[in-house]
Structure 1
């Protein structure tokens, strides 16, 4: 049997770059849509329809993520990733088409049926990027060096969402400056998604074996010879959701991540509104961005620290959440009286403390869990694990979002900070079994095997304890 193909840093960098831009494209699309909502309302689409679209998106995203992860584990991940981008582009174009034809003014039934239907499908296509992109990363980041620095690699990789959130308003501003029609703010994401979908589909090798076979075929075509030195990739056998839930710690992470994501969603969607009770709208929006800026280095910090602690990511995550608790308590008690500078510093710190655990759970932590020996019968598990954690978290967070207006209307803004504090404490409690295992040395990330380099000498996921 021929040796498995080597993994080069050049190819690892290419995979990192393509999947990073792919997920940034997802966030560019969502943020551009958010930024043109006011125009869509002026053109006749009601706020009620938009509200239903947002709620529907969250639930189809939640239910679609585990399914998307399974599809990526069962079929060619590069093709699945491309389909996700193609579908996202098609859905956004259909929104533009609906507005061109004034379907928002055609009556409640038509408006709800068309726009809500399109956005429900959009939620599923958007759910593909996270689990499948992470699965492709997991196929390539298996060298000893990559495994030693898994937290750093995935921590920097998860900054893709912030790149997308930054580029989107720039696109809108440039469209406004150039006096372009409003729909160009959505058309550019259509082009970006469709174009990068082609890159993912045809230029992103899902595995080192796939890349080696492609290179061998190209070389054979040039020389007119037949090369038989590249091993065939084994048939893919993904795991079921039931099997994924039976992996130790996965179920706990699913629910714990839901409460982490609830805190993130509350601050992402409601922080600007809270700040507007004390500041002018423009000032409030500017201050709220400090939370987003804090989230960017959060994943990197958690990743680096957990690498230094031998892969004990659960311990690091809980420490970050425990540090967050007193900040939430201070906000609950004194948010109305804090001076502006103190408020800004606290929001940036909260971004780090929330963003770090959020980003690392669906990347480095999921990669660790997908190597558990209980699923040694399958090498294709990472996409399903990521999809399950992400989908479960999104579902819990969506339920939490429904509680926010009820809490604020009945008890005021201070109660919302206590709500987030309770969510943080619950998340920490759910992590206790994982913490015990890590402190006992049972589930720290296994040290990479000694190797002279190359993929052929790396133990497979089935062989790792």
Structure 2
């Protein structure tokens, strides 16, 4: 019988081929490019705000004649209103992205995910080019046009995460999934760094060239995905992860008496066996009813609210609270991402060793409360602040990466959907879509709390959100709900309903 430290057979690495490596890299960098475009928009906000305001308020703008005609074509009378509109675009994007995730998950399970992902990347690149480059070249500035493009961009970018997680779930089984997905989920942080580098390299020529470069790279990435990505091992004749694990799962399950086995025997007909080879996508309602899906979706809404608040507000907090230079605050905020990368990988590794995600997740969330308390009282010292920031990222970003990647893959591959196994993209879309709704609401709440009560109350709000996940410390409830397949008896979707 396999022990907790054997990774359910101990040979999971030996099963990897060069196809697994290619799939890992292609999905990693495809989502990195999608995240890079979001970071590009954040990095050029100052330039956009200056361009959208009259020249007499913008000392760096090129003087164009006639001045009266040029100034009248600008969107906003001052930089404050321009900045407020840019924040509104962030909120619009997050809400449309959240809605799109629910839809994209369903589409991904019903169409070829390579086509869906490639279409999302290429079409999103075209929208970003129109938003930041074409409008500037044509000197066309219109609020409603910008809002429409950014809503469309959110919907198109939502095709990314459900598809890449589903493809990774098709190639990597639950043995070793925690550490693999923990390392792979660093794609968002790598995308942030890549977006910052691409934007800064051409920003001196104008913000429109930052959009042009990022959109071009993203479009090229979509073409590579269309011709190079294999969505499942079955496409090239390799056994799927469920077939590989079927023989390994039996020794790990508790013994079932003959009576119980006979009771379930009639449910497995020839038609149902053929269904495994020709999977049919489950409905959105069925995916929501799967054990653990709604529980983890609501939990991720609270966790992603805190995680994305750090992503959007941390540099501003460091500059505003400690009076550090904006460039220094931007560089220092990277340590939060570093903590999240290390946390997701290490916690995934430990969960693989234990063959349980719940205890690791519960322990990390409890320690996250202490890390938030500690960071809220950080002294005006960059070294101490970076250290506390890294610890906070470890205990918040780590669980966030685990839920959005490894646990979503676990839920989409649980044995309750063996009769309708095309569920992974739908489940991932539900989990991440619910989380994105929480993140979108959080950006408004953080701004409201900070303006009226101060930064300390923002941290109290974060602590409240993390504390609301205290039910994760109940291991028995979690293990029943998360549907990881450890020690569970196989049941078909038809049996469940």
Residue 30 of structure 2 contacts residue 221 of structure 2 at CA under 8 Å; is this kept in 1? yes
Are residues 1:64 and 2:72 paired? no
After TM superposition, the score normalised by the length of structure 2 is 0.78
Q: Which runs of 5+ in 2 are unaligned?
A: 1-14, 53-74, 76-81, 239-273
Are residues 1:322 and 2:362 paired? no
Aligned to 1:436: 476
Given the superposition, is the C-alpha separation of residues 439 and 194 from structure 1 closer, same or farther in structure 2, using an over 3 Å criterion? Answer: closer
SS at match of 2:469: helix
Are residues 1:387 and 2:417 paired? no
Are residues 1:279 and 2:334 paired? no
Post-superposition CA distance 1:354-376 (Å, at most 9, x none): 11111111111011111223323
Are residues 1:263 and 2:306 paired? yes
Residue 98 of structure 2 contacts residue 434 of structure 2 at CA under 8 Å; is this kept in 1? yes
Shift of 1:280: 2.1
Are residues 1:253 and 2:312 paired? no
Are residues 1:148 and 2:175 paired? yes
Shift of 1:160: 0.9
Residue 256 of structure 1 contacts residue 428 of structure 1 at CA under 8 Å; is this kept in 2? no
Residue 263 of structure 1 contacts residue 423 of structure 1 at CA under 8 Å; is this kept in 2? yes
Given the superposition, is the C-alpha separation of residues 340 and 38 from structure 1 closer, same or farther in structure 2, using an over 3 Å criterion? Answer: closer
Residue 293 of structure 1 contacts residue 348 of structure 1 at CA under 8 Å; is this kept in 2? yes
Are residues 1:77 and 2:113 paired? yes
Shift of 1:136: 1.0
Residue 125 of structure 2 contacts residue 218 of structure 2 at CA under 8 Å; is this kept in 1? yes
After TM superposition, the structure 1 stretch with the greater mean CA deviation from structure 2, 39-48 or 113-122, is: 39-48
After TM superposition, the structure 1 stretch with the greater mean CA deviation from structure 2, 22-31 or 269-278, is: 269-278
Q: Distance in 2 between matches of 1:324 and 1:191?
A: 39
Q: Which runs of 5+ in 1 are unaligned?
A: 1-6, 105-110, 214-230, 449-458
Q: Distance in 1 between matches of 2:162 and 2:486?
A: 22
Q: Distance in 1 between matches of 2:404 and 2:317?
A: 29
Aligned alpha-carbon RMSD (Å) = 2.7
Residue 438 of structure 1 contacts residue 444 of structure 1 at CA under 8 Å; is this kept in 2? no
**Residue pairs, 1:198-213, within 5 angstroms:** 198-212=223-237
Aligned to 1:121: 152
Q: Select 1:183's aligned residue among 208, 215, 224.
A: 208
Q: Distance in 1 between matches of 2:100 and 2:40?
A: 22
Are residues 1:195 and 2:217 paired? no
Aligned to 1:86: 122
Aligned to 1:165: 192
Residue 290 of structure 1 contacts residue 348 of structure 1 at CA under 8 Å; is this kept in 2? yes
Post-superposition CA distance 1:155-175 (Å, at most 9, x none): 111111111111122212322
Query: Relative contact order (C-alpha < 8 Å, sep 6+): which is higher?
Result: 1
How many aligned positions are there?
A: 414
Are residues 1:291 and 2:336 paired? yes
